[in-house]
Structure 1
């Protein structure tokens, strides 16, 4: 377990230059593109989640608090890509159960190894054998996460398992989370409302152990590590916003089509009303409704145009960040450490094939 004096938050301060020690952590999973996007804050941490599942190879994953399904379906995507045969279970954290859209997405893509449970987390305890969960993801408010751990979910985690607690930066009961950091090896990221990783026993892989070591190492190395995950997370967040902007653009086209159809209907009605005085009152009311709809349409289109412009601006920033990241990776690959470990990576790649 880690020395309490070494535990620290990877703060959002200006990043230092990349260190060769971080190169040993790099895997292709870091650059995985999420299929299921949304506005959830967990988007910031999906690169880390992809990396963790690729590195730790958990046999069973449980997430409590599906929200929009962003992190849960990212975990399912990683398991599918990995082909490890791991089992995934998603548990709703609200009384309304699992939204129909999430059920449909799960049935379409992951039903062979993924199960969604509509029961509350405490009621679902009996469905999970003690010490059987290799990766427990808690995407709920920090106070609720603490209550769930104390209610029996901590005992469901394997002796060498991992617990991920999202929104750790919002925790009001800091003492409880400080106790967790002292009790277990941990790494915490401040961005995206915070993400705390706890190793309940020995780290499940050398890379995870190295991550914990670097997270508690010198300031420059820790900030380089934080910067890597922050940049990659920003890319997915920008991609999610762009997808939302594209949805708004599609809605704009739909509204314009409806307005065009109504304009055509109005023209036809006006022509008929010339010789039908009894219809004039109805036509005036329809015209008023159409003008109100057009005004509302213009307001919605203006909002959507602004959102699309913002998304394009963020995408341009993302491209610049990616170019900087590629330059950093290029520098890492030219380093002595990278060249020395080239044969090992080649052998690893062949074994994966």
Structure 2
């Protein structure tokens, strides 16, 4: 086992991390195993948001491998992953085209349909992570088994999930009795790793063989790295939420400042309105006082008969004009 490569993978930092986080505890192992195997062809069945697949691809680039990589998925979801729209594939495809399109392909189709596009005994590393019922994962393995090269490595995710009709654990127990070169990580929902029995001597992975003293060391090491990876992801999520909340606070602060300016403007308008009302009230009081003074003056009392006479004259005048109008009509 290459100790140097084990130390190097401890520094592996995935360039793409998206929800869900079910595979994140295995990303360091993904980066390491693809370099250990250095497959001519790597295939992943079930890619979803791309956490596992992009870690394999990133390690191909960083390790200078000549591997050809293929991700097979309908990108529509299923009863275990949940169903989703085209936005997931759009995001995955954008990252893929930007970073890995020169050696990788995304095959958007059912698994059994994609199998027809691979020659028998051509795939040296296969990752199965599709629908997790016993029947579905068994069919995936049996369909793709003829496509596997002698001594190929096969990964099964969710071997440690025993709920919601998951059945990978059941197939994994059966395969362990057939393919003795295997190990299982129980963290992050479980990951089973096996090597086909027909491996040439030069392709056998010593740490995977029955009774290997290194097997438990590999399990412990990558469980620890996986735990660190999950902690980093959790921290990044906290930082992301904090940044989002910070941006929200900035928006709220700006809105509050604008509201305070509006209140200030309204206060100014109210002050100006109150000032005008006060001026009007003062003028009204002055007019009432002036009118009171006039009515209480001597001249007002002396001219009262004249004002009365004026009213009478105006009344008689209106009556006269009315009478003249009626005479003309008659």
Q: Tell me the TM-score normalized by structure 1.
A: 0.64
2: CA distance, partners of 1:64 / 1:193 = 17
Cα distance change, pair 231–168 in 1 and its aligned pair in 2 (3 A):
same
Is the 8 Å Cα contact of residues 52 and 208 (structure 1) preserved in structure 2? no
Is the 8 Å Cα contact of residues 64 and 93 (structure 1) preserved in structure 2? no
| Range moving further from structure 2, 204-213 or 161-170 | 204-213
2: CA distance, partners of 1:63 / 1:186 = 19
Q: Which residue of 1 aligns with 2:231?
A: 238
Cα distance change, pair 28–105 in 1 and its aligned pair in 2 (3 A):
same
In structure 1, runs of 5+ residues without a counterpart are 1-20, 278-353
Q: Which residue of 2 aligns with 1:133?
A: 123
Q: 1:179 aligns with which of 160, 174, 178?
A: 174
Is the 8 Å Cα contact of residues 25 and 207 (structure 1) preserved in structure 2? no
1: CA distance, partners of 2:23 / 2:236 = 16
Q: Which residue of 1 aligns with 2:254?
A: 261
Structure with greater Cα Rg? 2
Cα distance change, pair 87–268 in 1 and its aligned pair in 2 (3 A):
same
1: CA distance, partners of 2:89 / 2:138 = 25
Q: Which residue of 1 aligns with 2:132?
A: 142
Q: 1:74 aligns with which of 26, 49, 55?
A: 55
Q: Does 1:156 align with 2:152?
A: no
2: CA distance, partners of 1:235 / 1:173 = 26
Structure with bigger RCO (C-alpha 8 Å, 6+ apart): 1
SS of the residue 2:182 aligns to: strand
Q: 1:36 aligns with which of 4, 16, 20?
A: 16
SS of the residue 2:205 aligns to: helix
Q: Which residue of 1 aligns with 2:100?
A: 110
2: CA distance, partners of 1:223 / 1:125 = 34
Q: Does 1:199 align with 2:195?
A: yes
Deviation, 1:30, is 4.6
Q: Render the CA deviation track for 1:196-245: whole Å, top value 9, x for unaligned.
A: 112124447868621113x6346xx5443321111111111111111111
Cα distance change, pair 58–30 in 1 and its aligned pair in 2 (3 A):
farther
Q: How does 1:1-353 map to 2 (within 5 A)?
A: 26=6, 28-38=8-18, 39-95=20-76, 96=85, 99-143=89-133, 144-150=136-142, 152-170=143-161, 171-172=166-167, 174-184=169-179, 185-203=181-199, 209-213=205-209, 216-217=211-212, 222-274=215-267
Is the 8 Å Cα contact of residues 66 and 91 (structure 1) preserved in structure 2? yes
Instruction: Quote the RMSD (CA, aligned, Å).
Output: 2.8
Is the 8 Å Cα contact of residues 189 and 195 (structure 1) preserved in structure 2? yes
2: CA distance, partners of 1:268 / 1:205 = 79
1: CA distance, partners of 2:254 / 2:182 = 60
Q: Render the CA deviation track for 1:146-202: whole Å, top value 9, x for unaligned.
A: 23223x222222222111111111253655323322222222111111111121244
1: CA distance, partners of 2:190 / 2:250 = 43
Q: Render the CA deviation track for 1:118-169: whole Å, top value 9, x for unaligned.
A: 222223222323322211111234323223223x222222222111111111
